Amino acid sequence: MKKILIVGAGGQIGSELVPHLRSIYGNSNVVAADISAEKCKALAEAGPFEELNALDGEGFSAIVKKYNIDTIFNLVALLSATGEKNPKLAWDINIGALTNSLYIAKDNNCAVFTPSSIGAFGNDTPKDKTPQDTLQRSNTTIYGVCKVTGELLSDYYFNRFGVDTRSVRFPGLISYVTLPGGGTTDYAVEIYYDAIRKGSFTCNVKEGTYMDMMYMPDALNAVVQLMEADPSKLKHRNSFNIASMSFEPEQIAAEIRKHIPDFKMDYQIDPVKQAIANSWPNSMDDTCAREEWGWAPKFDLTSMTNDMLIKVKEKFDKGLIK
């Protein structure tokens, strides 16, 4: 990777991936693009930025040519719970941005990274240690349908046109930098903020609901590691299972109580999010990622909780959030 374009840079992943990549490859070599410069002020001030609606193929292509881009990170997506409110919009945005990314990459000899998700699995998928290659035909969300479609479409562009497409199936991502944006795993971010803010939290998924999760620093490292991996060693491309930790709400609450002993949690179940969570794996088998490109996470629930509580408290102390 020498000249990188990140589309959808203002989202949960992009807002942290852009500065991470700029720290590695140099500010001038990582172009951030999003529909609004206003919401990406920090990214725009630190390096090149372009306003772009990823569904605008001509504008997208012009940016790739302008900066001689060789790697596209397509991070544009409506998330799982948000997508259920408007399935047509979710399809139009998620698949439209991907299609443009792949088509433009083909014409400009670019590599493409597009995140997939545990949402690519469904009710008939094995729940525990979900295999790399398994059933993905019982999806119950438009978000999941888009992710399965994206995996297949990315493989097609690799096999048919030789586009260097790569992807990981992210679990729920936990971060102190960007607030969650409508995903089923958002509770695992929100709980830290409410723990600091008020010492209590109302969880919207049931006790005993296991889902794979990952701390954002591990996710960022995974992206770079995969995109820099020797392509001759990649038997899989779209998309690799990657895993770090799997827990249910009571376990994360117990970790928080090690720091905030009086922390309390109750439940008010969101039926849409619960149904989505029930269709997803309890845990994924990431053996292929470990063997093919050396994936190895650094954070577990204990070390992540320690860091999250410190960093979230700092944000409150500095008045960055209320």
Catalytic residues: 143
Asked if residue 52 lies in contact with residue 60, where contact means CB atoms within 8 angstroms, the answer is: yes
Asked if residue 242 lies in contact with residue 170, where contact means CB atoms within 8 angstroms, the answer is: yes
Which residue type is seen at 263?
F
Distance CA 128, CA 285 (A): 8
Asked if residue 193 lies in contact with residue 200, where contact means CB atoms within 8 angstroms, the answer is: no
Query: How many of the other CB atoms lie within 10 Å of CB of 302?
Result: 11
Asked if residue 241 lies in contact with residue 285, where contact means CB atoms within 8 angstroms, the answer is: yes
Distance CA 217, CA 1 (A): 20
Asked if residue 213 lies in contact with residue 172, where contact means CB atoms within 8 angstroms, the answer is: yes
DSSP 258-269: TTSTT-EEEE--
Distance CA 282, CA 291 (A): 22
- Please give the biggest Cα pair distance in the chain: 58
Distance CA 111, CA 202 (A): 42
Distance CA 222, CA 168 (A): 8
